[in-house]
Chain A
Amino acid sequence: MSQSILFLAHVSEAGNSLPKVSYEVLGAALKLTKQLGARLTIGLIGADVTAAAETVAAAGAERILAVAGPDFASARYGSDAAAAEALCRAAGAELILAPATSRFMRVLAGVAHRLNGCVDTHVTSLESVSGEVRATRWHYRQRIEAVITRDARPWIVLLESGCEAAWTGQSGAAKVEEIPVTLAQAATRTVVSGVRAPKSDAQTIRPDANLLFVAGAGWTKKQADGKTHIDQAETLILEFLRASGASLGGSKSLVDQTGESQAVLGFMTHLNQVGQTGSTPRHPKGLSTCCHGEEPHVVGWRFINERRAVNLDPNCGWARGKADVLYVADAFEVLAKLNALLAQRSRTSPEAILQT
């Protein structure tokens, strides 16, 4: 009997499609289905999955299952775990592929336990070699890459974004089998009341931006005149973010200053932190400024394709094969000139303004 694969997804916040990474995981699921000669089932969770199901109707899945209803609108552990468990049991799949969204990252390990199976998260590639499924994931915060296999089934695998080409296909009518789930009272104790943006003057975290701009602690240190220039640093960075559409990252040393009551960049929070103890965002390009480029910082750059750095120290970590280009210069001066240049370009050619 051929293997069975379940592609598990939840509807996007807008409610009319799946999160972008889900289509990438669907692409991976289809590839693996073909390699293994397996059967593919799609499982969807959400308040109303109709529109989202239509976007994957042409993917060629044998069945499309869904757990839907108002109880499954929000990301809540109790209800999401029950929904995912029901879909996994209904599909009876040996391999369950899901996107590593915050919603699923919070719940699918628990589901694996309920199914007496196993789970692996942050997987960056999945392949079949002689019928054996192998997953690649990072350990020690993107410092060691390992290839693993598992004996236990079902095996739930959460795939990272940007690792597979997204599946694309025409939307169409989808035949959805709804799986009934009755939630225990204990599963609905928690009430999701909404979403809150961080305390920032502007939203500085843009996951889909073309460029990641990383500010290091150097921005808040004494400059050549022996004084700090926090206000100037804030203005320069915010102006650059506005003009370039870049997403903002910060080194641990910089964001930690907030908690230590030191002079800080007002818009920088722990949510901006990248690196060993922060996030490892995926952007095509990265520009680091006033950041020394040691290993814990560079971990946050593991998935940045093109890397440039501006630093006053020519012997900093970036010079040791971690960046493509290291500019030995004063970031204050460079950014001021860069902002002027971007402003000039946007005036002369508005379409040249870089889009996020």
Chain B
Amino acid sequence: MTNGYHIVVCGSIVPDPLQTLEPVQSPTGPALKNEMMLPAVLDPWAAHALYEAANLASKAAGSNSKVWLVSVGPKAKLQQVMMTIAQKVSFELVPVDSSASGFADAHATAALLADAIQSIPGLDRSRLLVFGGWESASRGAGATMQLVGERLEILDQFQGVDQIRVLDNAQADGSFEVLERIEGGRHQVSVCPGPPALFGWATGNLPEPRNNPQVGMANMRTVMPALQRAKSVPLPAGGLHFLGASPPKQQRQTRVVKDLPAEQIAREIAEWVGK
């Protein structure tokens, strides 16, 4: 692979995990209370995908690789999140001003993402790798990336990916070894002959990159104009109807045990475990 990769990362924004989420009814269906006021972050699995994309792009032979981040979300929230994410790794933002709600239909979101990817000028399908989170922290369906792949007619798809490694084999043909999560804490190992391919990332192996203001400055030169140009696109319900949405009601009566010797606690736990 001498020409490098064209890596498109699909990643949306989600409420900060530490926020309390309360569903409310809106004219278009369920939504989160004070949704626009909740601090947002880049979806955790999509963030892993972005870091892996940047890492792969930097290591690819010829270093003629490029990373795009295609993100569907309200423009104002995207801008807020980009102030942080843009400092992590180099990418070009392709924003789509639409709903990032976890109640949105995966099919409709996938259609927006696929259209946005296809509209990227100069994107080379023979070098195309589509990255994203295998699930999101909002809808959490694990469906969107597959649907994007189908729309882009990519048949080499992998989900729950923790690692891809460009094989250094005799042919140096650019094949990847891919590790996908399966049941029982194991990985399925596959060999993919190269682009085009789609990878729904789990956590991968890379730590979160440190903020680099220089990277941030460079990114923001393209991020801000892209956000300004982003058109608002309505997200159709697609025949999905919500009959109700509620937080879990179960509140347990917690018995708080203080001042009990460790041995007695151990006895109690052993008895409970053995029941």
- A237, B243: Cα distance in complex, Å: 44
Is A329 within 8 A of B265, CB to CB?
yes
Which residues of A are found within 8 Å of B186, using beta-carbon distances? 195-198
Is B160 within 8 A of A102, CB to CB?
yes
Which residues of A are found within 8 Å of B160, using beta-carbon distances? 102, 106
Is B254 within 8 A of A204, CB to CB?
no
Which residues of A are found within 8 Å of B244, using beta-carbon distances? 146-147
Task: Tell me which residues from 1 to 41 in chain B have a Cβ below 8 Å from any Cβ of chain A.
Answer: 14-15, 17-18, 20-21, 23, 30, 32
Is B15 within 8 A of A140, CB to CB?
yes
- A210, B157: Cα distance in complex, Å: 34
Q: B103 contacts which of A74, A141, A146, A310 (Cβ < 8 Å)?
A: A146
Task: Give the A-B pair count, Cβ closer than 8 A.
Answer: 288
Q: Known A109-B106, A191-B191, A196-B187; judge A144-B254 contact (CB<8 A).
A: no
Which residues of A are found within 8 Å of B20, using beta-carbon distances? 295
Q: Known A197-B185, A319-B254, A326-B256; judge A121-B143 contact (CB<8 A).
A: yes
CB of A327 within 8 A of chain B? yes
Task: Tell me which residues from 217 to 266 in chain B have a Cβ below 8 Å from any Cβ of chain A.
Answer: 238-248, 251-260, 262-263, 265-266
CB of B44 within 8 A of chain A? yes
Is B158 within 8 A of A75, CB to CB?
no
Is A101 within 8 A of B138, CB to CB?
no
Is B262 within 8 A of A110, CB to CB?
no
- A142, B110: Cα distance in complex, Å: 22
- Pick the interface stretch among A36-44, A53-61, A219-227, A332-340: A332-340
* A interface bracket (residues with beta carbon within 8 Å of B): 35 or more
Is B188 within 8 A of A195, CB to CB?
yes
Which residues of A are found within 8 Å of B206, using beta-carbon distances? 259
CB of B269 within 8 A of chain A? yes
CB of A90 within 8 A of chain B? no
Interface hub of A105, A211, A285, A352 (most chain B Cβ within 10 A): A105
CB distance from A16 to the nearest CB of B (A): 17
Task: Tell me which residues from 140 to 167 in chain B have a Cβ below 8 Å from any Cβ of chain A.
Answer: 140-144, 146-147, 149-151, 155-160, 162
Interface string of A285-299 (1 = CB under 8 A from B): 101000000111000
Which residues of A are found within 8 Å of B266, using beta-carbon distances? 334-335, 337-338, 340-341
CB of A180 within 8 A of chain B? no
Is B140 within 8 A of A320, CB to CB?
no
CB of A165 within 8 A of chain B? no
Chain B, Cβ-Cβ closest to A193: B189
Which residues of B are found within 8 Å of A211, using beta-carbon distances? 273
- A81, B146: Cα distance in complex, Å: 11
Q: Known A121-B141, A196-B187; judge A337-B263 contact (CB<8 A).
A: yes
Interface string of A331-356 (1 = CB under 8 A from B): 00111111011100100000010100
Interface hub of B193, B242, B252 (most chain A Cβ within 10 A): B252
Which residues of A are found within 8 Å of B187, using beta-carbon distances? 195-198
CB of A218 within 8 A of chain B? no
CB distance from B258 to the nearest CB of A (A): 5
Task: Tell me which residues from 73 to 123 in chain A have a Cβ below 8 Å from any Cβ of chain B.
Answer: 74-78, 81, 101-103, 105-107, 109-110, 112-114, 118-122
**Contacts beyond the supplied A109-B141, A114-B150, A271-B181: 20 A-B pairs with Cβ under 8 Å:** A77-B158, A110-B150, A110-B157, A113-B107, A119-B106, A119-B143, A121-B142, A140-B15, A141-B140, A146-B244, A148-B240, A151-B240, A191-B191, A192-B188, A207-B184, A260-B207, A270-B205, A319-B256, A327-B268, A329-B257
Task: Point out residues on B near A: beta carbons under 8 Å.
Answer: 14-15, 17-18, 20-21, 23, 30, 32, 44-45, 102-103, 105-107, 110, 137-144, 146-147, 149-151, 155-160, 162, 177-193, 202-208, 238-248, 251-260, 262-263, 265-270, 272-274
5 shortest interchain CB distances as A-B pairs: A205-B185, A151-B239, A109-B143, A337-B266, A259-B207
